Structure 1
Amino acid sequence: MTEPNYWLMKSEPDAYSIDTLKNDGVTLWDGIRNYQARNFMRKMNKGDKVFFYHSNCKPPGIVGLMEVIDLNIVDPTQFDQDSKYFDPKSKPDNPRWDCVKVEYKFKSDKILSLPELKILFNEDELLVVKKGNRLSILPVRNDTAKILLEKI
C-alpha cells in the first residue's frame, strides 16, 4: 500500500471546529468556493491524512487530525438557495463544486500555533506559514507531515 498524502484544511472554529468534528465523527468538507482549493481536494485519495487547522482565531493553528474516507462528492450546498455557499451558476447536470468526506482521528492536546509553525518551517516546507496565504486547503509535504505528527 502506498503512503498517504497529507493535507491541511482550515476552518474557523465558530463555523466548524475540531470539537464539532469529534462529536459528528464524519463530515462532508463542503462550501469550498476557490478553484485552487477545490483542485487540491480533487487530488486527494481515500486514506489521505488531513491536519485540521483552526483559522481566523487567536491563536490560529493545527488542532487535530482527520482522514479522507470518500471522494468526488457533489457539494450539495451549491444548489441550496438558503446556503451562503449557493452558486446560481452551478447546475445539477454540470456541478462546479465537489467535496470529500472526512473522519475524525484525534484532537491535539494543545494547539500547534501559527507562530510555532513559522519557527519550525519555511514557506517551502509548509505553505500555511506563507504571508498572505488564504487558501483553505493546502498540500503538506510528507517530510513536513512526519514532523507535524510528532508535535501534535
Structure 2
Amino acid sequence: MPPKKKARVSKTSAKSGKINDIEGTSAAGRKWKAAAPVKKTGEGSQSAGSAIFTCWLMKSEPESRFENGIDVKFGIEDLKALPDQTGCWDGVRNYQARNFMRQMKEGQQAFFYHSNCKEPGIAGIMTIVKEAYVDHTQFDKKDVHYDASCKPDNPKWSMVDVQFQRTMKRFLPLSELKKYHLQHGANGGPLKDMALFTRARLSVQPLTAEEFDFILSLEDKEPL
C-alpha cells in the first residue's frame, strides 16, 4: 500500500500550493495541516509589479503523484473536505508566483485550476481568507518543498490561506479556454492576454476583473 498522505489543514476561519510552477506540476504538491503560528515579516510589502490585481487562478493536481513517498494530490474536492473547507496554499517556490500571493487580499476570489491531469481546467472557486505569511514548509527537512537556503530569520517563501467557495456549474477545460483565447487574440476580447496562455508556467496567476467575470459567465453557456 502507498504511504498515507498527510493532511495540512488551516485553522483560519472565513472571518479572520505544492507548486513546482510548471504547467502540470502545481499546487497540490502540498501536504495540508494546521498552519503553524508564524510571525509576519516585512516580506508582504514586496510587489509583483505596478499592476494591481484582485482576482486569481491557482493550480493544483487532482490526481495522485508521489514525491519522496508523499502523495501530492490535491483537488477541489480535497479542499472542500478539509475542516472549515480551509487550507494553506504552501509550497510555492517561484518568485513571481510568490509575489502574486503577496498581493492577495482577504476576501478576494481565485479559480481553483486542476493541473497535470487528463483534462486540465477550472474546477471551482475559492476565497482568500488569510493574507501572505511565512511558509513554514521551507524549513521542514521532511517536506518535499524544503529549501536548505532558507533561514527562519530570513525566510524566502510565503503562503496564503484559502477557503472553498463552490465548484463550477460545469468544469471549464483548458481546451475550451484556449479557443476563446485564440478568438479574442484575433478579434479582441477579455482573454486575449490571459496569463494562463501568456505565462503558462506560473502556478499562481493574476486575472483582471474582466477576465474573471468572462470566465465565470462561461459556466452558464454551452461548451464552445
TM-score (norm 1): 0.91
Question: Is 2:78 aligned against 1:20?
Answer: yes
Question: Is 2:222 aligned against 1:126?
Answer: no
Question: Is 2:223 aligned against 1:144?
Answer: no
| Contact 1:125-1:141 within 8 A present in 2 as well | no
How far off its partner does 1:125 sit?
A: 3.3
Provide, for residues 41-82 of structure 1, a one-character-per-residue CA deviation record: whole Å limited to 9, x for no partner. 111111110000000112100000001010122111111101
Tell me: higher relative CO, structure 1 or 2? Use CA pairs within 8 A at least 6 residues apart.
Answer: 1
Within a 5 Å distance, the mapping from 1:1-150 to structure 2 comes to 5-14=54-63, 15-24=73-82, 25-121=85-181, 122=185, 124-130=192-198, 133-150=200-217
> Which range is displaced more, 60-69 or 71-80?
71-80
**In the aligned structure 2, how far is the partner of 1:30 from the partner of 1:17?**
14
Output the amino acid matched with 2:112.
F
| Contact 2:104-2:132 within 8 A present in 1 as well | no
**In the aligned structure 2, how far is the partner of 1:49 from the partner of 1:84?**
27
**In the aligned structure 1, how far is the partner of 2:129 from the partner of 2:205?**
18
Structure 1: runs of 5 or more not aligned = none
Question: 4+ residue stretches of structure 1 with deviation over 4 A?
Answer: none
**In the aligned structure 2, how far is the partner of 1:72 from the partner of 1:140?**
18
Count matched residues: 148
Structure 2: runs of 5 or more not aligned = 1-52, 64-72, 186-190, 220-224
How far off its partner does 1:94 sit?
A: 1.1
Output the amino acid matched with 2:196.
V
User: What SS does the corresponding residue of 1:72 show, helix, strand or coil?
Assistant: strand
| Contact 1:13-1:55 within 8 A present in 2 as well | yes
Q: Taking every aligned residue pair, what percent have the same amino acid on both sides?
A: 43
How far off its partner does 1:99 sit?
A: 0.3
**In the aligned structure 2, how far is the partner of 1:63 from the partner of 1:107?**
6
**In the aligned structure 1, how far is the partner of 2:192 from the partner of 2:92?**
24
Output the amino acid matched with 2:195.
L
2:11 aligned partner: none
Output the amino acid matched with 1:146.
D
Provide, for residues 105-131 of structure 1, a one-character-per-residue CA deviation record: whole Å limited to 9, x for no partner. 00123320011001122464321134x
Output the amino acid matched with 1:128.
L
Where is the strand percentage greater, Structure 1 or Structure 2? 1
**In the aligned structure 2, how far is the partner of 1:61 from the partner of 1:111?**
7
| Contact 2:92-2:159 within 8 A present in 1 as well | yes
